[in-house]
Chain A
Amino acid sequence: AQSVTQLGSHVSVSEGALVLLRCNYSSSVPPYLFWYVQYPNQGLQLLLKYTSAATLVKGINGFEAEFKKSETSFHLTKPSAHMSDAAEYFCAVSVRGGSNYKLTFGKGTLLTVNP
C-alpha cells in the first residue's frame, strides 16, 4: 500500500518569496506522483506529474517538483509567490500497473500569500 505525508498543513509566504511545499511518499513499488491545486469552491486541478521520465518536473503556473528516490520526496517549489497562488495543494501517489488510476492523497497544505 502507498501513502503520502505532507509536512505542514499551513504554509504562509510573502509575495515574491520562494514557495516550498513538502511531500514524502511511501510505496513498495516505483510510484507515479502528482501535485494538485484546489482553489476555493473548485475541483482539484493537476499542477504536474512524475511518471518516470525526468526527475525534475515542470508544471503550470511556474511550479516545479523534483523526484528524489533516496529521500522518497516530491517537494513542490515556485521561485516567486504570487497572490493568485493562494490555495490548497495536494500531493498524490499511484502505482504502476493495472491500478494506476487509484490516487492516494496527502492531507493537503493550505498556502497563504501575504502582500
Chain B
Amino acid sequence: NADVMQNPRHLVRRRGQEARLRCSPMKGHSHVYWYRQLPEEGLKFMVYLQKENIIDESGMPKERFSAEFPKEGPSILRIQQVVRGDSAAYFCASSPRLGLAGDPSYNEQFFGPGTRLTVL
C-alpha cells in the first residue's frame, strides 16, 4: 500500500556498519509493526509499537536490533553492526487501532513496499 512509506527502498551496508530503516504509517494510524523476510522465507513478525511505546518485541533478535516510534516522526528500525545474515527485506505495516481481543476486524494491517537491506 503506497500510503505506508518506507525509506530507503534499498540499502547497502558493509559488515559492522549501522542500518536505519524508516517507516511512516498511514495518516491517522498509531500502530506500527515490523516484519522481516529472509530469502526463501515468509514474513516474520519482529515488533509492534505504538507511539512512544514498544508493545511486543518478541520477534526481535536480542542483540543489535532496536525499534522506536517517537511522538513525532517515523518509526525507526535500527540494526547495529550488521552482519551478512541481516540481509533481508524489512516490511513495515500500520493499523488505525487494535481490535477487541478476539476480533481483528479493525486492525487490518496496511503494508509498505519494504526496504531491501544488503550487507556486503
Contacting pair B112 A43 (CB below 8 A): yes
Contact of B98 among A44, A45, A101, A106 (CB under 8 A): A101
Interchain CA distance A107-B104 in the complex, whole Å: 22
Q: Which residues of A contact B114 (CB under 8 A)?
A: 43
Contacting pair A103 B103 (CB below 8 A): no
Contacting pair B101 A97 (CB below 8 A): yes
Interchain CA distance A97-B99 in the complex, whole Å: 10
Contacting pair B45 A51 (CB below 8 A): no
**Closest residue of B by beta carbon distance from A42:** B113
Given contacts A43-B2, A46-B108, are A100 and B99 in contact (CB under 8 A)?
Answer: yes
Interchain CA distance A99-B108 in the complex, whole Å: 13
Q: Which residues of B contact A74 (CB under 8 A)?
A: none
**Closest residue of A by beta carbon distance from B4:** A43
- Of the stretches B11-19, B36-44, B73-81, the one at the interface is B36-44
A-side residues, CB < 8 A to B, are: 4, 6, 32, 36, 41-46, 49, 51, 90, 92, 94, 96-108
Query: Which 10 A-B pairs rank lowest in CB-CB distance, beginning with the nearest?
Result: A105-B42, A43-B111, A44-B111, A105-B43, A96-B102, A107-B42, A100-B104, A43-B113, A43-B112, A102-B45
